[in-house]
């Protein structure tokens, strides 16, 4: 996830921006209808004297927090209703013009929303939108693209990461099958430096295989360390 930075509203502005402490129960998604980055959106919100506020702004490179999550915000137009009083409000930046920056901002917001849902132990039903509270067509560009599509993005981030299953490799023995000395390299490619050479026809154990430049049959990692080109060996 992209970095989260704090630029919190000064406490002397709490009476205007976030006067009530509360326990949040949901996430509320917005679009800024602007083309400014997250830092600018939060900075403007912090310093004006309007009763308009939100917890986070998300752009293509970072997330900026302006209000603590345990305080309300004036964002969803429902007065002292559940949106303003119980929502964690997230503004997705660059929605006015859209484009690549908005695409990335929306992706970052989906990942961040998923992290909040998991943090509070909420299900996807706790992800709401501004329109749910006062009917305003917001988040406008996200709605244009399809709310279910955005829900699906968040759901994917909520799924536990799949641990790749390591394929089982059975070590085997080889012998050098060429007259010349066989170079032992630091990695699976002729681009790596030479550690040593195999000059005899004794048996050696291969414990891993990789493809790489300089060997049509790939590279084998020796049990003793280093990599050899498999073009010049045979199984023993």
Q: To which H or E segment does residue 142 belong?
A: helix 140-145
pLDDT tens readout for residues 173-221: 999 999 999 999 999 999 899 999 999 999 999 999 999 889 999 999 9
Q: What is the pLDDT of residue 160?
A: 79
| Residue 163 scores a pLDDT above 80 | no
Name which of 11-15, 123-127, 141-145, 211-215 the model is least confident about.
211-215
Kindly report, as residue ranges, where domains of CATH 3.40.80.10 are found in the chain: 4-158
For residue 207, what are the β-bridge partners?
none
Kindly report, as residue ranges, where domains of CATH 2.30.30.40 are found in the chain: 172-235
Determine if the peptide bond prior to 51 is cis (ω within 30°). Answer: no
Q: What is the pLDDT of residue 164?
A: 66
CA triple 72-78-79, angle to 5 deg: 60
State the CATH architecture for 4-158: 3-Layer(aba) Sandwich (3.40)
Q: To which H or E segment does residue 4 belong?
A: strand 4-6
| Residue 122 scores a pLDDT above 70 | yes
State the CATH architecture for 172-235: Roll (2.30)
Please spell the DSSP secondary structure of 107-123, one letter per residue: HHHHHHHHHHHHHHT--
* Lateral strand order in the sheet of 219-222: 194-198, 182-185, 227-229, 219-222, 204-210, 172-176, 233-235
* Contact present, 182 and 194 (Cβ < 8 Å): no
pLDDT tens readout for residues 133-151: 999 999 999 999 999 999 9
Stretch 97-111: mean pLDDT, rounded? 96
């Amino acid at each position: 996830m992209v970095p989260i930075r704090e630029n919190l509203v000064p406490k002397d502005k709490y009476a205007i921006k976030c006067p009530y402490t509360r326990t949040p129960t949901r996430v509320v998604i917005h679009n800024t209808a602007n083309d400014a980055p997250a830092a600018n959106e939060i900075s403007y919100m912090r310093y004006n004297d309007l009763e308009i506020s939100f917890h986070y702004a998300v752009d293509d490179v970072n997330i900026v927090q302006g209000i603590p999550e345990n305080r309300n915000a004036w964002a969803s137009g429902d007065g002292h209703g559940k949106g303003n009083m119980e929502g964690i409000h997230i503004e997705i930046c660059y929605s006015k013009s859209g484009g690549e920056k908005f695409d990335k901002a929306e992706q970052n917001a989906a990942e961040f929303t998923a992290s909040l849902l998991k943090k509070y132990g909420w299900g996807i039903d706790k992800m709401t939108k501004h329109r749910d509270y006062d009917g305003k067509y917001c988040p406008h560009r996200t709605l244009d693209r399809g709310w279910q599509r955005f829900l699906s993005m968040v759901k994917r981030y909520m799924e536990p990461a799949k641990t790749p299953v390591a394929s089982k490799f059975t070590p085997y023995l080889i012998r050098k099958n060429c007259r010349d000395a066989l170079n032992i390299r630091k990695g699976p490619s002729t681009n790596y430096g030479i550690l040593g050479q195999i000059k005899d026809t004794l048996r050696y154990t291969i414990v891993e295989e990789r493809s790489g430049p300089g060997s049509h049959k790939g590279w084998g990692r020796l049990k003793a360390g280093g990599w050899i080109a498999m073009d010049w060996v045979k199984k023993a």
